[in-house]
Structure 1
Amino acid sequence: MKDLFLAAGGCHYTYEQLLKDVGSRGKKCSRIFVKGNEPYQIFVSVVHSLWLDYPVELLDGDFSEEELNKMGIQSADLQPSLIDRRSEHPPSYEDVTALLRPKNWTLSLYTSGTTGRPKKVTHRYDALTRQVKTGSRWENQVWGFAYNPTHMAGLQVFFQAFNNKNPMIYAFGEEQKQLPDLIDHYQITHLSATATYYRNIFPRLQSKVYPGVKRVTFGGEGFDERLSEKMKQTFPHAQIRNVYASTEAGSVFAGNGRTFTLSSSTKDLVKINEHQELLIHHSLVGALENAADVGEWLNTGDVVQEIGENQFVFVSRNSDFINVGGYRVNPLEVEAVLTAVPGVEDAVVKGKKNSVTGNLLTAELVKAADAEEDQVKEAVRKHAADTLQPWKVPRMLTFVEEIRKTRTGKKVRE
């Protein structure tokens, strides 16, 4: 564990190795594109850019050639170039962290592209790290994270860990099945993932208690209160946190549970419009390709509900609502009802086009291994009919082994 920087894919990388690899690079990659999103290579490139203070674009390694072309990026644009200066010795950790107020460095990310062509957003260092905490209190943390390292949530974990010389344990993709062993072996103290990830992995976790985990962070999706209560049984000493972040604005605020409370420094930079959509002031937002279309306030597309002074809860993405016979149905509300049925581990609710009602609701269910399919289906139908208004009850139920996810680990709803 001493000096460990990253454990990923069965490999271990120390901070000493990281800095040696950074110092040995004779070329710079202004566009970081790593097939398969191998986290170590991505983080080496990010640290290299910080050390030499040059701007970079971080591309999802899963982007297809067609997607890259639509973004105006050709294969020749991904080739590294010779650097103007190169140190004879690799930098020390202190050399790099002393430069963490870079003048020229920016990092550009791309939105996931689920609603069209991915859009570029460029951030400065101070904006990306506004929520990073440093000092003796944060020195001995061990971060287990389950995010794509090319997206905002993965970068947030990287900057928090790197600034405190903490180890990171990668548990995304196939490695999520190993999470219980990873927690024990590396003595993970902090976990960060989406609610979908926690639902998928919870059956592997629930047979044990992990007293060493001090914080469990939810991000990227709506908060799941029922799942949170289960997590408290498995992680009895953990604080449950819910982070609101986006590619455009970075990490904006965090809450205990589903409630977000605006601080004195952010309350005037956030507002809710007449459609209950969350707006964020442009001063918190990175430089956008189409900045002229944003104006003073960025519409996040997230529907929220005010519950008190400077307090709100996330309801759903506006684009996720499903029109059923003129009623707007929030799929998260329906999914919460379905997953309350014993034997249902996860669910995703979608709309199926219908000539009469516009859409019919359908649901894909993941059942527990020891549950009988017919019994679960009957119980789901009854509970949904007893709990939900008629237009919110799914008309078709399908069992699946696993719910499909986007590049960022969220449920695919289309």
Structure 2
Amino acid sequence: MSKPPFGFGPPDPDKRGENEPSDSGGQPSGAEAFNQLGQMLSQLGQMLSQAGSSTGPVNYDLAKQIALQNLSSSDSGDVKLGFSSSSGGDSSTAVRDAAHLAELWLDAATILPAGATSTVAWSARTWVEKTLPTWQRLCDPVAQQVSGAWVQALPDEAKQAAGPLLSMMGQMGGMAFGSQLGNALAQLASEVLTSTEVGLPLGPAATSALLPANIEKFTEGLELPTSEVLVFIAAREAAHQRLFAHVPWLRQRLLATVEEFANGISVDTSALEQLAGRIDPSNPASIEEAMSSGLLEPQTSPEQKAALNRLETLLALVEGWVDVVVAEAIGDRLPGADALRETLRRRRATGGPAEQTFATLVGLELRPRRMRAASSLWKLVGDQHGIEKRDGLWSHPDLMPTADDLDEPLDFSERLGDGESTLEGIDPIAEIERAEREKNKPKGDEDEN
């Protein structure tokens, strides 16, 4: 279900370094290992001071710097189809027109109104800058738990002797995490099509964002008009925004579940001495190499597995709902819609950017099978009970299908027809309307009641 976050995977047999302890027992003592760490930290002092002013478990200044540098070096400036010109004028107009058309079609396919107040065209670099605050919220708990294990593993006498070196050790971990995050975000930014493709609301609220240059690359080889692809992608982004804007609990529940998983991370710290033996004080690159060796691989607890299951199910329900609503909204309007739908499903199934990023940064590996199951469930509920009852389930988290319901969608739909899937005293449609009234209520009205 999950992978170790921040690259803490099993050791690669092809990357065994000269400093890796041999099986013959040449393991340094605890004091020697700590001395090696001290030497390394001293030699890295100057480099640490130049890595930005970011504090905390991840050096986000360094992450942003690396991501933007990688994107600059990979940007060839080659525009084949013209609509994503570097000036942004043509691409912005095309994106707004596609979004406007998509919103009109979506109005007939869902009871949730438009959620975005603006639609923009982003470059890959803009995506990094606009989504970094949300990545910080997602990654901080994971990195905090892992980096804290380093200090906890030190003997008490070593902690007392270390003094300021402990702070430098934190900087070292922050740099390693920042480097890994920067590389992951650059890879993701060069492939992602919208601000919500990962399944989470990464960008600013009420803002639909498409990346025209990436959509151009995605369109190559599909033998479909670029305009059709753009409208289809815009419809998916707009559908996501409707959910995130009008389901009050959804955004917080998604992000909080990731944090819940991260806060439960524990690390086997008994291997710290062995880890120190792998580090070459004269080679800063050995830090990240040692960290990814698997020696500090986080252990997944039963509570974390439960959190991952809830997150996986909720993400699947979001993606499945978007898949069904967009398909119904577009219908026969775009001849290539069915092919595009299947292409995006295969993109996800073969380990697209969303899966790679979650596995690297959060430790979650999404299962495409659950997304197909969720799509089938939403389609069944809509066909049997109508879109009002289908979309009304989003009014309260306790009304939502569970992981077991994804396995037995017919049973869930039958219970829904019998009224067993509604909470006593809760009218789903009234709840959505109430949330809309609260959202649009002028400031100060609350005091009148």
Q: TM-score, normalised on structure 1?
A: 0.29
Query: Higher RCO, 1 or 2 (CA under 8 Å, sep at least 6)?
Result: 2
Which structure has the greater CA radius of gyration? Answer: 2
